[in-house]
A = this chain, B = another copy of it.
Amino acid sequence: MTAYTNPRSRTLPESTYAVLGLIDERPASGYDLASFADRALGYFWPVSRTLAYRELSRLEGLGWLEATNVTQLRYPDKRVWSITEAGRRAVAGWLSTPPEGGSTFRSAFLLKFMFAIRMQPHDLSRLLTDYRESLDTTVRDLAAIIDLLEDRPEARMGRLAALHGLRSAEARLGWLAEVEQELDLGPPEPAEGRPDSGGDAAARDRTA
């Protein structure tokens, strides 16, 4: 309806090509696509379910995708999308040009961290602890994904993309250790044995 079907007037958002590229790989329903996109691109290019549907109809309007109705017995009928010849050309064109626009990084953690001098010590260490926990989770998740894809050569790029995230997260854990040392907050283990802040570089080595 309110679709922006004219590719000449302005450049399409990258998410449009993300969806197009995924359908090029394997035809799918909107529902399928959304969950597949979440697994494949979720870490560096989230495409929500709603957005997936919107991009699909935009791509239909552009003539880059077409739908086939599939009736199902135990599940609702669905529209399975596949790429057209024009769509294939569009993907090729997109892949042959350098990424424009895109790439943003926003960190609510760093934003708050910038004002750390005005934070209560307790809140600061909480902030850092929470950050470490989220990084630990990321490391675990990505390591598992990499492990899973190790022996699947067709998923090579996915594995390498996950590795990109893993290396970044590891570097940030290293940064956290540096920061905690400089701010003389020992690594948070307030259980027993009061941290005598023995300047240990051992904490840097967490490449598990």
Contact = CB atoms under 8 A, between A and B. Distances in A.
Given A164-B175, A178-B163, A157 B107 contact: no
Interface residues of A, number: 60
**What is the predominant secondary structure among interface residues of chain A facing chain B?**
helix
Contacts of A120: 95-96
B182 A174 contact: no
Contacts of A191: none
Given A95-B118, A104-B106, A108-B14, A167 B175 contact: yes
A103 B110 CA distance: 9
Contacts of A127: 98-99
Contacts of A174: 167
Interface of A: 14, 17-18, 21, 24, 40-41, 43-46, 91-92, 94-96, 98-120, 123, 126-127, 130, 156-158, 160-161, 163-164, 167-168, 170-172, 174-175, 178-179, 182
Given A14-B108, A44-B106, 16 more contacts: A43-B105, A45-B111, A46-B106, A92-B118, A95-B119, A95-B120, A95-B123, A96-B119, A98-B130, A99-B111, A105-B106, A163-B178, A167-B174, A167-B175, A168-B168, A170-B171
24 contacts: A14-B111, A41-B114, A43-B105, A44-B106, A44-B111, A46-B104, A95-B123, A96-B119, A98-B126, A99-B109, A101-B108, A102-B108, A103-B106, A103-B109, A104-B104, A104-B106, A105-B106, A110-B161, A110-B164, A113-B161, A117-B157, A160-B179, A167-B174, A168-B171
